[in-house]
Structure 1
Amino acid sequence: MFAAITLALLAPAVADLPRSRAEQTDYTETSRLDDVNRFFSDLQQHSDFVRVGSFGKSREGRDLPFVVLADPPVAHPRDARATGKPVVLVMANIHAGEVEGKEAVQHLARRVVAGDLKPLLGSLVLLIAPVYNVDGNEKIDVMNRTAQNGPVAGVGVRENADGLDLNRDFMKLDSPEARALVGLFDRWDPLLIVDLHTTNGSYHGYHLTYSIPLNPATDPRLAVQHRETLIPALARTMSDRHKFRTYYYGNFSGANPRPLAADGLSWQAFSPAPRVGTNYFGLRNRFSILSEAYSYMTFRRRVEVTEAFVEEIWKYVAANAAEMTEVARRADADAVRRGRTGPPVKIGAAHRPKALSAPVDILVGEVKAVRNPRSGRDMTAMVEDKFVPLRVPDFGAFEATRTVDAARMYLFPPGGTGKAAADNLRQHGVVVEELTAALTADVETVVVEGITRGEKPSQGHREVRLAGQTRAGRATFPAGTVVVRTAQPLGTLAAYLLDPESDDGLTTWNVFDPDLAVGRAHPVARLRGDVRLAAKVVGGP
């Protein structure tokens, strides 16, 4: 009788909890920004553990929503640090046509506030950026991503208001959204970041695929923890507890395997470039996971599998917080040590896919056409449990074909392109200094012998690749010269951004273009020796 009375008393409160737009429309629609803001505002009225706000503005001036779930309540990074609990950030809707993450984080937050996931607040501080690409989200239309299996009422667009792919903007930081998000990383320092997406490619037999940091410059300890411990544990729980099939994100080389034959086919991971968020976070010495729900499942099922995946990630971090925190701490400490005494980290100047040690069975899925009653177009629908294994090489990693040793310090003039470079570095949270007295030292410079620019614009740029000759010599740098030491936790990221030969640095993204000419030295000099200098920190992140 007591249990019955208790349930009766709780029922109205549970019934009053907000529901996502997907739930309200039987998964025919996805949430607009106002729906998401209303959901979390309503949820906050049910719990003191919810804090809502904005971490920045979009190009069109919309607030970028931000939610903190914590017990005791947390509204500021210093309060989160005071709890001693690791911070986990889940971001959704970076591509606003890939919408199930946006719905899943609403459902998960409700479970944390008033359901089965509430115990997680004893171990974690949970951050949620539910609609990162807010401008793209408001362009919902039935003619966007028409091959995707719902929601039938339409989705947003991939790019932000400037036509930029926000998941290619983590190095150059062209967009106000990326600058705001990186600022959030600097302030809150999440131990793990989860980035929620939808596939857009091969017909496979998995409900969800995932990726981890793929750049070879990622701290080795962090890379091993991802591949040998974290991901295998998640794959097991997704199968055992939720009955979902998962594997590493990739696509078949060439066309989808029709007819079914392995000849010449392989499974290919996407990119090691740190312009992509998952790889970028790894260079910050933090854990990161890319989640890709299979776009040919129904919208409802994509929300379900994404929700289950994030749930298991949270549970894993809660159970392994001490070990993961120590791995990140040692990665930070090693970055400082390498910048001071070496050996230096190797920055990739070029990369190629690397096959795993043995071929693997990749599940090839069956699909069918289903008419969308709103658009009149055919959607592609997964035929559940119709798949066959195909044994192929798995190029699930990358290796550098050419590297350059990171310098102990990078020096460059403070004006013009140097100011733009320094501003970018500070936005990333890299410590930037300037000489307070002239310095004479042995340095390396790269003398440009050839400049190759991309034939077509990419993300508003024509990417630059340099051919050059490294020359050593003694040089004098006047007071005011910008100095960036790699003996700092973000030293690997700083070197990747600044080194003239980096394959995804500021040179790639045209920051130094006005100073580049054949026969001329690149403006950024490398200092490798143990040199004492007089300098002061400039500005802040």
Structure 2
Amino acid sequence: MSADLQTPYESGNQNQTTTWEQCIAFYQRLAERFPAILYFSQIGVSDAGVPIHAGVVSADGVFDREQIALEKRPVFFNNNGIHPGEPEGIDACMALVRDFCIEPDRLARLGRTVFLFIPIYNVDGCHNRQDTSRVNQDGPEMFGFRGNSLHLDLNRDFIKCDSLNAQVFNQFFTAWDPDVMVDTHTSNGADYPYTMTLIHTQSDKLGAGLGQFLRQTMLPAVYQDMAQRGWPTCPYVNPILESPDQGIEEFLETARFSTGYAALHHTIGFMPETHMLKPFADRYASMRALVEVVLDFTVSHGAQIQQLRDAARQLGQTRSHWPVNWQRDDERVSTVNFKGYAACHRPSILGDYSRLYYDKNQTWEKPIPYYNHFKEAVVVRSPVAYVVPQQWRAAIERLQWNGVEFERLSANKTVQAQSYQIRSVQSRAHPYEGHMFHDEIVLDAVNGQHQLREGDVWIPLNQEQARYVVETLEPQAHDSFFRWGFFNSVLEKKEAYSDYVFEDLAAELLQTEPELNKQFDAWKLAHPELLTDQSAVLDFIFTHCQCFAEPEWRRYPVLAIFE
């Protein structure tokens, strides 16, 4: 092999990862030398103005996205470098694409399947290069940073799309519509012998035949093939208590994460997590093996996966109810055979407490509890359509980026619709990825007449992107637009009062509004300690009276049409 076809990892001491400049130049050389195998191009720019690239490998030189879709060719997507401090996937992908170019037998085994990849997704973080930010990680010598130039974690940005990267990714992913995705990572957490652990799209949440196929057919095959390649793999180690021997639970990857976002498009997603404390060379080798194993399975089962995805989309167009929130099912507990290190404790030398450590001289292997089932926690009735008023442009943009079909009303009209009145919201005390994320929401459904305006967006649910629509527009969904604060202005009451004037008006309101008086009496009984607080008393009357009500206050603006 000529030197210019070697990756930095291969040409160094196996503790090196590529820079962004080296990586892009490497793919550009390959694409120039092997134009019938690799197409490589820029798909966008980051917030710092750095180009974002993607590549396509095809055994017969077909790179056109529309032709690939028309011919129903399976698409396997490998995303790398979302966290550039976890870089083994970046380097493994470089070598795998090179081997497609120079090994005819390997290329031929792709058959009709297309290998789609983003070499480095967080290009800003890749340029922020140092050797200190990964506190517990064994190599490589230098690496990139988790955050992008906006200090965002891009694996929390797939729904809210604060970054240009996510906006590009949403449109790229929707356009290519991959059947299977592998998004490469390195894990923090407990210590154990495994180099490779695996997060996958949660099967119950993925649902229908696709989720069953993933759990019963695809995952067993992946674990078996990894073991045969010398890299025994276990589920992502997410302990329910302090250490794995007490049991682990499946990771509920909601739509903010890559695999949860993929599920909105009925794509099977994998997030391999190599173990931080294993040498970089082992992490690299196991990551390449994992990508190849999942790719091989996709090649041999591509048609079946596509049929299951089509069936899931068709079901979404006709289903009467949608689960939008999930919780662990403690009544259905599986077991998994696990190899571990003894979890021990000893006094800390830093403070007056006992600290955890893992004794690698004490190994064990036994079945442990595995909570790998989730049940529907919130289910909503499926409307005929949703209406998003045109002024909520940020939500509408994201619907467009994800291929959602809608029409703009050509005239004003009055409709009977359901809206939500927001009774209460509890948000995180500190910013989370740039937002005051809403953890707890209490809603009341209200039916009534609403005036729609010319230009408002009408979104029918009998479409392939129904799942994306429901899980972003229903407020109680795990990562809805509402939870991320897209509609925060409706939570603010716009008018106020002067206490010395409103004091007299409030007394009159209690006489003229019997329901208000009843609510006030109940409030006084529940909160006698607040009766000495003028602001608390007047605020209650002001916010609950009908006379000075603001119709838009605490009314979720998206409407559901059921007739």
Question: TM (normalized to structure 2)?
Answer: 0.82
Separation of aligned partners in 1, 2:330 and 2:44: 38
The answer to whether structure 1 residue 506 and structure 2 residue 459 are counterparts is no
One-letter amino acid of the structure 1 residue matched with residue 289 of structure 2: A
Answer yes or no: is 1:320 the counterpart of 2:301.
Answer: yes
Deviation at 1:180, TM superposition (A): 0.7
Give the distance between the partners of 1:436 and 1:82, measured in 2 at CA. Answer: 33
Higher relative contact order (CA closer than 8 Å, sequence separation 6+): 1
Cα deviation per residue 1:132-154 (whole Å; 9 max; x = unaligned)? Answer: 11111111212121321111x22
Question: Where in structure 1 are there 5+ consecutive unaligned residues?
Answer: 1-13, 368-380, 530-541
- Return closer, same or farther for 1:122/1:385 CA change in 2, 3 Å cut-off: farther
Aligned pair partner of 1:400 in 366, 376, 383: 376
Alignment check: 8 A CA contact 2:203 2:212 kept = no
2:20 to 24, 29, 33: 33
Whole-Å separation in 1 of the counterparts to 2:134 and 2:152:
17
Among candidates 63, 85, 89, match of residue 101 of structure 1? 89
Q: Provide the secondary structure at the position in 2 that maps to 1:302.
A: helix
Q: Distance in 2 between matches of 1:364 and 1:98?
A: 23
Identity of aligned residues (%): 24
> 1:490-523: per-residue Cα shift (whole Å, max 9, x none)?
1111111111332311101111011235763211
Letter in 1 for 2:456: T
How far 1:383 sits from its partner (Å)? 10
Cα distance in 2 for residues equivalent to 1:82 and 1:204: 46
Give the one of 137, 157, 164 matched to 1:148.
137
Corresponding residue SS for 2:334: coil
Q: Is the 8 A contact 1:360 1:394 kept in 2?
A: yes
Q: Which amino acid is the alignment partner of residue 468 of structure 2?
A: L
Partner of 2:47: 59
C-alpha displacement at 1:164, in angstroms?
0.8
- Pair 475,91 (structure 1): closer, same or farther in 2 beyond 3 Å: same
- Does 2:319 match 1:345? no
Q: Is the 8 A contact 1:112 1:120 kept in 2?
A: no
- In the other structure, the counterpart of 1:424 is 398
Post-superposition offset of 1:157: 1.1
Gaps of 5+ in 2: 344-356, 493-542, 544-552
User: What per-residue deviation string (whole Å, max 9, x for no partner) do you get for residues 404-455 of structure 1?
Assistant: 234221113211xx22211121122212322223443332111121122211
Contact 2:333 2:373 in 1 (8 A): no
Alignment match of 2:122 (pick from 133, 149, 173):
133
Q: 1:449 aligns with which of 411, 423, 431?
A: 423
2:560 is matched with which residue: 518, 523, 526? 526
Residues 470 and 185 (structure 1), Cα distance of their counterparts in 2 relative to 1, 3 Å cut: same
Q: 5 Å matches for 1:182-193?
A: 182-193=170-181
Distance 2:422 2:72 in 1: 49
Q: Aligned match of 2:456 in 471, 481, 506?
A: 481
Give the aligned length: 488
Deviation at 1:351, TM superposition (A): 3.1
Aligned with 2:278 (options 297, 306, 316): 297
Q: Write the distance in 2 (CA, Å) between the matches of 1:426 and 1:276.
A: 20
2:557 counterpart SS class: coil
C-alpha spacing 1:455/1:146, structure 2 compared with 1 (3 Å): closer
When residues 393 and 106 of structure 1 are mapped into structure 2, their CA distance, relative to the original with a 3 A threshold, is same
Deviation of the 1:69 alpha carbon: 0.7
Greater share of residues in helix = 2
**Partners of 1:524 and 1:194 in 2: CA distance:** 34
> Any idea what SS the aligned residue of 1:122 has?
coil
Maintained 8 Å contact 2:420/2:443: yes
Corresponding residue SS for 1:22: helix
Q: 1:446-479 deviations in whole A, cap 9, x for unaligned?
A: 1121122211100000012431211222334233
- 1:272-291 CA-partner distances (Å, limit 9, x unpaired): 42111101101211121111
Equivalent-residue separation in structure 2 for 1:354 and 1:74 (angstroms): 48
Counterpart position of 1:23 = 10
CA distance 1:167–1:254, shift in 2 (3 Å): same
How far, CA to CA, are the matches of 1:72 and 1:385 in structure 2?
52
1: CA distance, partners of 2:127 / 2:362? 35
Tell me how far apart the structure 2 counterparts of residues 382 and 126 of structure 1 sit (CA, whole Å).
40
Cα distance per residue 1:187-206 (max 9 Å; x no partner): 21111111111111111232
How many Å apart are 1:355 and its aligned residue? 6.6
Q: 1:515 is matched with which residue: 481, 487, 490?
A: 490
Distance in 1, Cα, partners of 2:557 & 2:305: 39
Alpha-carbon separation, structure 1, partners of 2:82 and 2:71: 29
Deviates more, 1:266-275 or 1:282-291: 266-275
Displacement of 1:385 after TM fit? 11
Structure 2 residue 382 is matched with structure 1 residue 388: no
1:164 aligns with 2:152: yes
Instruction: Rate the CA distance shift 1:256–1:521 in 2: closer, same or farther, 3 A.
Output: same
Tell me the distance in 1 between the aligned counterparts of 2:137 and 2:342: 15
What secondary structure, in the 3-state scheme, does the structure 2 residue paired with 1:466 have? strand
Counting only pairs closer than 5 Å after superposition, residues 108-257 of structure 1 correspond to structure 2 as 108-115=96-103, 116-151=105-140, 153-214=141-202, 216-240=204-228, 242-256=229-243
Change (3 A) 1:407 1:389: farther
Identify which of 228, 235, 252 aligns with 1:271.
Answer: 252
Question: 2:183 & 2:126 partners in 1: Cα distance?
Answer: 16
When the two structures are superposed, what TM-score results if normalisation uses the length of structure 1?
A: 0.85
CA RMSD of aligned residues (A): 2.4
Report SS of the residue matched to 1:345: strand
Please tell me the residue identity of whatever aligns with 1:250.
V
- Aligned 8 A contact 1:205 1:366 in 2: no
Aligned-pair CA distance for 1:354 = 4.7
Q: Does 1:492 align with 2:480?
A: no
In the alignment, the residues of structure 2 paired with residue 174 and residue 216 of structure 1 have an alpha-carbon distance, to the nearest angstrom, of 29
Cα distance between partner residues in 2 of 1:92 and 1:192: 14
